[in-house]
Amino acid sequence: MKRPERVAVIGVGILGACVGWNLSRQGVRVVFIDAGRPGESVTNWSFSWVNASNKTARRSYFDLNVAGMAAYRELARTIGPDSWWHPSGHLRWADDAAAETTLLKTAELLTGWDYRVEVCTGAEVRRRLEPALTLPDEVLVVFYPDEAWVHGRHLVGHLVGRAVASGAELRSGTAVRDIGTGADGSVRTVALSDGSCLDVDAVVNAAGPRASHVAGFVARDLPMRHEPGAVTRISCAQVPVRRAMHAPHIEIRPDGDASVVLHSREIDALIDTGEEPAELARLLHESARHVVPELGNSRITETRISNRPIPADGFPSVGAVLSVPGYYEAVTHSGITLGPIIGRLLASEIASGKREAMLADFRPERFSL
């Protein structure tokens, strides 16, 4: 397939922004399309933790996430870290023997894979890293110094702004209502809800939770999981923690100078029972106060429930769908970690037509077999 001249990127979260920015750097004309505003959907409502320590189910997936971490460091050097990049490491500990054993086994595995790991005591963590925490002196805490958190909305804004300054087009506040194909089955047009129709050579489906719906426009069946998650932001006069952490029952990270983000898989399990978002937020806040007492004086500002964009087998769907020339997918959970590396690799594939070996296990065609 010849190099496309104009590519529509559908969905402008972290993945869409990274793909589009990389394409624009290679001289491809990009049209960003988003039903809302760039970076304000799932990207803005995730835990936004850059890591590979939680990605050990398959070695190739771990390696892709490690490459994602390296791509972030390169991106920070290229565009500047500004307010989006926070490479302060990550803490994790458990409150029962079985969970602690699993945590330490994972740490041992990661050490064998040349991933940096430090095992500390609770007393050491309070003295050296996070004095505001309440945790037993003797509890073992795993510290991953190379991990980070990202302010996704700020990063998306930077990347889209740079792409637009280089000639890309942004269509926000309008949804895709159809993708047209030519007689040979290849992508030709994108019809929008504002009544306009764009002539394109290719589309990238980076629509997150709506990716399956967008795939349907080209008669593509993209199976997705139903896994909603609740994220709460609380405001603080002064943020008492410096880094992302997985404490027992609660995940906590800073979100700038006056805000903290809270999430919990245990609380997520209550979503489908019909529990109201306000009650989910209260439970998250209560759990967080047990770990960081200073958060007891904070105020819940907003809670959002979003469906995570996870393909059915739990792994990314990235690359061309060969049965529809010009149609590409960039759909995955862990979009925050993987955005820069998937953006670079997929943009290279689109511009050159050559398949990247690192994406071999994550091709969309596995769902067509």
Residue 238 placed within a domain: yes
At 2 the pLDDT is 81
CATH code for position 171: 3.50.50.60
pLDDT mean over 336-350: 98
Pair (275, 174) in one structural domain: no
For the chain, what is the mean pLDDT? Answer: 97
Residue 51 placed within a domain: no
pLDDT mean over 59-68: 98
Residue 320 placed within a domain: yes
pLDDT band, very low/low/confident/very high, at 158 (cuts 50, 70, 90): very high
Q: Flag whether pLDDT at 118 surpasses 80.
A: yes
Domain boundary among 286, 307, 328: 307
Residue 200 placed within a domain: yes
Pair (219, 237) in one structural domain: no
CA distance 81 to 337: 16
With a pLDDT cut of 90, the percent of the chain lying above it is 98
Q: What is the DSSP string of 117-178?
A: -EEEEHHHHHHHT-TT----TT-EEEEETT-EEE-HHHHHHHHHHHHHHTT-EEEES--EEE
Pair (204, 323) in one structural domain: yes
pTM, full prediction: 0.97
- List residues bridging with 265 in a β-sheet: none
Q: Flag whether pLDDT at 360 surpasses 60.
A: yes
pLDDT in tens, 261-291: 999 999 999 999 999 999 999 999 999 999 9
> 242 lies in which domain range?
228-307
Total residue length of the chain:
369
The structural domain count of the chain equals 3
Q: 72-78 long-range CB contacts below 8 Å, 24 or more apart?
A: 72/148, 72/150, 72/340, 74/340, 75/340
pLDDT band, very low/low/confident/very high, at 369 (cuts 50, 70, 90): low
CA nearest to 295, candidates 245, 340, 329: 245
CA distance 263 to 27: 40
